[in-house]
Amino acid sequence: MEQLSNELRNFIVENFLFGQSSDFSDNDSFLKTRIIDSTGVVELISWVEESYGIRVEDDEIVPDNLDSINKLSRFIERKTCVSR
């Protein structure tokens, strides 16, 4: 879980904060902290699909699954368990 969180954090810092590490926590909402915008969500999803070999269904694109590092890593864990 911790490794997964770190991977996600690295991707986000690299792609949305342009490499500038920021002090956002694993629970911070991407929406509220404005780290990711609507086109960013699309990028994030395609990266998650590619990196973790999962498919994110349309009805899974909701804040509960994707809107913080913790939510996202729980979601990926759940999905990878199912597909195994």
Partner 1 sequence: MQLEQFLEASASKYPEKVALVFEEERWTYSQIDRACNRLAHAFLKAGIQRGDRVVICLPNCVEAVLAVFATLKANAVFVFVNHSTKADKLTYILNNCRAVALVTWDSKLKELSGMDDGIPYTRAVFGVGAAETCSEECQRLGKTLTLVDAAVAAQGCDRPPEKRCIDLDLAALIYTSGSTGRPKGVMLSHLNMVSVATSITTYLENTADDVVVNVLPLSFDYGLYQVLMMFKVGGRVVLEQSFNYPFQLVKRLIEEEVTGLPIVPTVSALLLQLDLSKYSFPRLRYITNTAAALPTRHIKDLRRLFPRTKIYSMYGLTECKRVSYLPPDQIDVRPTSVGRGMPNEEVYIVDDAGQTVGPGVVGELVIRGSNVMKGYWELPEETEKVLKPGPFPGERVLYSGDLFRSDEEGYLYFVGRRDDIIKTRGEKVSPREVEDVIYGMDGIAEVVVIGVPDPVLGNAIKAVVSLRPGATVTDKDILNRCREKLEDFMIPKLVSFEPSLPKTQSGKISKRMIPAAK
What DSSP string describes 19-36? Answer: T------TTS-TTTTT-S
Count, residues near partner 1 per rule CB under 8 A = 23
User: b or e along 25-34 (b: 16 or more beta carbons within 10 Å of the residue's beta carbon)?
Assistant: eeebebeeee
Closest distance to partner 1 from the beta carbon of 64 (Å):
9
Q: Specify the residue, 63 or 84, whose C-beta has the smaller distance to partner 1.
A: 63
Q: Is 63 in the site for partner 1 (CB under 8 A)?
A: yes
Contact residues: partner 1, CB under 8 A = 17-20, 30-32, 34, 36-42, 58-63, 66-67
